[in-house]
Structure 1
């Protein structure tokens, strides 16, 4: 497990120390940093890091206020507060508002590593629980009969989610983006759909961003949407490759290994997992989306 980190502190040297600790002890990947609360809010909403290390006292917006606001957005992010403030009342307030742990300044390497590892264990446990939940959900989605009665998947959204469930990415942040993107394509005339997929996939990202803004009143940006989608597709590639390693005759591996991915890239990912290659497989958003739409067409 290699969680993503975002660091918020107005002291550049503190940010550098924390980044060095995370890198040196292989605790995860730092995907962003900020020195003030306003910028941090926007970045965290878009990047959706798994762990945020945040100073209590910040210019623009203090750490507790940021955590409160982000918690309301249900980003599934874990927050570690960093501060010189030792007031029991303030620390208690931080925990009450959603902070997972509290690190005292000056920074102590042992304390930082210990606390981050505790949060990583919590994330690992959440992932295990989530895997069970997804497995149970998949059983319900994929089960054709319940009590002798056939289940009817009536909407296009349900059919897309069924495929994402089979790929093991229904719970990923980018899965909702993938669903909405395919729904947008299905709404287009065939010639427009072909143009978006073959020439203007960047335009499709922009259309999805516009839908979020106008229909759902969600503020995001094209880069964040593309990043979430690529992460979800990468996870699907890893899942398919692992299935192939465990059982080359696995039905899901056979079904999707050459339709939503280039099979050469699936083999590259399998070699990477086995330790035979330093590089994993590459993904194509276009092929992935086209593959899902083809599967939907074949099942209709």
Structure 2
């Protein structure tokens, strides 16, 4: 960019510890950082674009004004919904919300900078069945998968002797009133499927073949930089099916770079999805074959940075300061 000082916009909620180290890195590298939540709109956050008397594209919040035309990068992290005052009725709030989504969304989409990731791309990339179909078409091995809300389909498959797991299509978090959010871990199906099969009718459910593992890989892709982390999930009975079951002490294996063919196919997948950042999960079989599970366009990474001293925050900062639009190119793999 012609400007000597990069300007970066981070859209996220007030409490987001993952963002803090990136802000520090950006500041240390000389960037100007605007960190806001979309919940500030419309009372404490305003957007203005105009071509009366010259072009203007500005965002104002508190005592800060940001020239949107000078942005080098936007990190669409985890912003929350617009908040309207009680002075507006429910019908008026609904109208204002849709107007705001179209207006603010259109203004931000019009910025000519690097996005990590654009929200419209995220919304498509989060569709796990679509990911699996793309990955399969690109030559990756994916688990054989049944998606259905027909109980008979599940019972029929189980009775054929297939060892199956149930895995939620989203984060699997359920918010019960007055309780902490609880998550649904990947679960191996047993005889209980016959008693519980009618519950399948309530929504689309994902059932996949169980694949034997040697270990698992969490691959964090930040632009063209790959951070591959080996997860020794098979060393503990609690994590053999789902390594997320261990929340206190993650067990890591030695660093293993991703094979070149898997890198190429992952690049192609993310290119098709149109995303710059992703947390990609693989199973590695005892025979050494990589099996694609999913790509999370907003997956967490700070726990790996802290545990393994990986320069992920610096990498995010460098990418956001680089400017856009993003170009997929040669991959650099970073070990530990």
- Same fold per TM (> 0.5)? no
Q: Considering fraction of residues, name the structure with more strand.
A: 2
Larger RCO (alpha carbons 8 Å, 6+ apart): 2
Q: Report the TM-score, using the length of structure 2 for normalisation.
A: 0.26
